[in-house]
Structure 1
Amino acid sequence: MFYLRLARGYRVPDLGRWLLTALAAAVVAAFLLRSLGRAMSDPAGGAGPLARLLWCLPPLAAVAWFAAVAARAVPARRPERIAGLTAAGAGSHRIRTLIAGEVALASTLGSVLTLLAFLVLRNDVAGPGLAPDLGMGVPLPAAAPVALLALVPLTAGTAAACAVPVTETLPGGRTQAPTGFGVWRIALATGLGVIGAALELIALRPGAAADGRPIHLPAGLGSTSTAALGGWAASALGLALLTGPLLGWAGRLLAVGRPTPLRLLAGRGLTAQARRLGAPLAVLTLAVALVLTTVRYWIGTPDSADALPAVEACLVLGCAAAAVVTRLAEVRTDRREVTDALLRLGTSPRLLFGAVALRTLAVGSTLLLTGGATAALAAAGLR
């Protein structure tokens, strides 16, 4: 009943976030039920069912990531809701549980709708092309779909509960986040990038193809060596960890010397938000780099494309992009007081718009650097 009353006060962004969570959960539930139907249709034994379940992990992780980012943005986007809950006697832990329950409820709705569609299609509605995916002609264990679909709301709700810090759920509890990055993090990210690039160069040396046993990649991506795959993974992780520091350094570079008001606003704003924007932008950049590399390989190698990885890639990209949009909306809400103060002091709206455009250009250049390097290393390791 509480969530029904809460839904009455939804605005368009709240409703869109709720529907996106339900839609993403429905797609992941479809992947899980397809793996169950294939396992019932195929002969017993073999590694096929396990491989199909492992294919469901990337979209499940993407949904959990989006749920975490969306749940973290609720206290900042709707402070009046948090203030009302606090006035009603709800503590910080209670508020965090309520936010996680809202995310889990949306995921449950999407999973239930997918389960209903799965059961309807099994009732002699689907054609012979979908029969293996639905496990038609084989009795369906009642506990199997329920156990599989329980993973979706459980994972999304847990991620949402862990993402909302207790100190930020109460009105006025948000503290000023630091703008710098630790030396150890920068050193770790740089070390991973250098070691990964060195491993991939070793794997690409002349005669290296004859060393060891090649690893056959899924999704029709051919094969690669252990050194190339490990080197790319290390370098991709290092570049992702470096995204936040690079954004902060780009902001400082904009404000270096005697900056104009345009450069000063753009640089200080980017430096202040680099920590919060680094993680979602790094995930989106990594996903885009992987998708572009896969599409490039599929185009160069005819008849190697696979429909299932393409659908999963669309879901992962959609969740990553939605997480970035949610974080940007959260940042805009946090900067609303600063923007209003600048306008009251007589700052031109054109100057504020120019600062936003300059920050966007700096962010795009940084992501082009990290994403291009990630995609280039991935393309070099495929053969």
Structure 2
Amino acid sequence: MLYLRLVRGYRVLDLGRWLLTATAAAVVAAFLLRALGRALSDPPGAPATVERLLWCLPPVLAIIWFTALAARALPAQRAERMAGLTAAGAGPVRLRLLIAGELALACALGALVTLLLFLVLRNDIAGPRLAPELGMGVPLPPAAPVALLAVLPLAGGLTAAGAVRLPETLPGDPEPVLIGRFGPARTTVAVVLAAGGVLTELYALRPAAAEDSRPLALPADLGHTSVPLLAGWAAAALGLGLLTGPLLAGAGRLLALGRPSPRRLLAGRGLTGNARRLGTPLAVLAFTMAVVLTSVRHWVAPGADGTGLVPAAEALVVTGCAVAALLARLTELRAQRRASSAALLRLGASPRLLLGAAMLRWAVAGSVVLATGALTAVLGAGLLS
């Protein structure tokens, strides 16, 4: 009943977050049930069964990532709801469980809708083309679909519960001061990984390596590659991802150098202060877009065999979850910036100044992400060449 009462106070953003979570869970549940249906249709011990389950891992991780950032954004976004629940006697642990339960219910509803559709199609409704995907003609173990679909609400709920920090669930607590400083050890490791990965891939692409064997078969009809190429690209992509936050902080400091104008000062300080929280979701989005665009370029290249529906649908789900996670983090930061923006307006700052600072901040952040994502995509293209 408490969740039903909370739903009555949903706004458009709350309803969109809930429906997006349920839709993503429904699509991933369809991938899991397809893997189950194919496992029932294939002969016992077929090696493709494990491969199909592994294909379901990226979208499951994407949903987990989105639920974590959505849970982190909810206390700051709906501070009045947290204040009301706290006044009603809910402590930090109960607030955390309420947030986790809300997202777990969305995942469970999406999985349940897909399960009902799966059972209806198995009732001699699907045609012969879908029969192997549904495992028609083979008895369905009742525990198998329940066990597979329980992964989504359990993973989403546990991740959401672990993502919400207890101090952030208590309205009125002072917000932690965010300083866009990254330790020299992390920056050094990121630079070494990126530079080492690029050099390793360039070495593997040297003309003398053209005759080297490429024993590794990539999934989704992406061809074959070699171990040095794959290792170099993975190290470079990880290093570039770790460098996203320090690059954002450094770009913010560059904006505020010298005697900056008020717009440059606000944009630089804001970008430096938010570099820690923005770095990870922006790095994940840049990596995801680089991988998806590189794969699409390979699929549509002349002479390529294209790809199946499942890899394309998974790419769409993973990209959508990465974009939604970034939007959740942006709503969290916007809610936390509301008090400082109101203070600036009371001091005489014009809304046009704040808008200009925000546009400059995002232009610089977009340039950083475009640079890291483009380099990751270029290295990925070399991996598939």
TM range (shorter): over 0.9
CA distance in 2, matches of 1:348, 1:79: 26
CA distance in 2, matches of 1:304, 1:203: 26
Deviations along 1:144-198, one digit per CA (max 9) or x if unpaired, are 0000000011111111111111121111333223321122111111111112112
Does the alignment pair 1:255 with 2:256? yes
Q: Secondary structure at the match of 1:207?
A: helix
Q: Secondary structure at the match of 2:300?
A: helix
Corresponding residue number in structure 1 for 2:189: 188
Does the alignment pair 1:355 with 2:357? yes
Does the alignment pair 1:290 with 2:302? no
Q: Match of 1:286, as an amino acid?
A: F
Deviations along 1:41-88, one digit per CA (max 9) or x if unpaired, are 111123101000000000000000000000001110111111122222
Write the mapping of 1:48-67 to structure 2, written as runs, cut at 5 A.
Answer: 48-67=48-67
CA distance in 1, matches of 2:46, 2:195: 39
CA distance in 1, matches of 2:104, 2:376: 34
CA distance in 1, matches of 2:216, 2:304: 20
Does the alignment pair 1:166 with 2:146? no
Corresponding residue number in structure 2 for 1:142: 142
Deviations along 1:235-273, one digit per CA (max 9) or x if unpaired, are 101101111111111111111111011111111111111
Q: Match of 1:67, as an amino acid?
A: T
- Which stretch shows the higher mean deviation, 197-206 or 21-30? 197-206
- Choose which of 310, 313, 323 in structure 2 pairs with 1:311: 313
- Choose which of 374, 377, 382 in structure 1 pairs with 2:376: 374
Q: Secondary structure at the match of 1:252?
A: helix
- Which stretch shows the higher mean deviation, 199-208 or 59-68? 199-208
Q: Secondary structure at the match of 1:303?
A: coil
Q: Match of 1:19, as an amino acid?
A: L
CA distance in 2, matches of 1:71, 1:38: 34
Corresponding residue number in structure 2 for 1:332: 334
Does the alignment pair 1:242 with 2:243? yes
Deviation at 1:39, TM superposition (A): 0.5
Asked if the contact 1:193–1:234 (Cα under 8 Å) also holds between the matched residues in 2, the reply is yes
Deviation at 1:213, TM superposition (A): 4.8
Among all aligned residue pairs of Structure 1 and Structure 2, give the percentage whose two residues are the same amino acid: 63
TM-score, normalised on structure 2? 0.97
CA distance in 1, matches of 2:304, 2:379: 22
Q: Match of 1:346, as an amino acid?
A: G
Deviation at 1:212, TM superposition (A): 5.3
Q: Match of 1:319, as an amino acid?
A: C
Corresponding residue number in structure 2 for 1:179: 180
Corresponding residue number in structure 2 for 1:225: 226
Q: Match of 1:279, as an amino acid?
A: T
Does the alignment pair 1:127 with 2:132? no
Asked if the contact 1:209–1:225 (Cα under 8 Å) also holds between the matched residues in 2, the reply is no
CA distance in 1, matches of 2:206, 2:10: 58
Q: CA RMSD in A?
A: 1.2
Does the alignment pair 1:151 with 2:160? no
Write the mapping of 1:107-122 to structure 2, written as runs, cut at 5 A.
Answer: 107-122=107-122
Q: Secondary structure at the match of 2:374?
A: helix
Does the alignment pair 1:269 with 2:263? no
Does the alignment pair 1:102 with 2:102? yes
Corresponding residue number in structure 1 for 2:24: 24
Q: Match of 1:169, as an amino acid?
A: T
CA distance in 2, matches of 1:64, 1:219: 23
Asked if the contact 2:214–2:224 (Cα under 8 Å) also holds between the matched residues in 1, the reply is no
Give aligned pairs, total.
383
Does the alignment pair 1:279 with 2:280? yes
TM-score, normalised on structure 1? 0.97
Asked if the contact 1:18–1:103 (Cα under 8 Å) also holds between the matched residues in 2, the reply is yes
- Which stretch shows the higher mean deviation, 278-287 or 348-357? 348-357
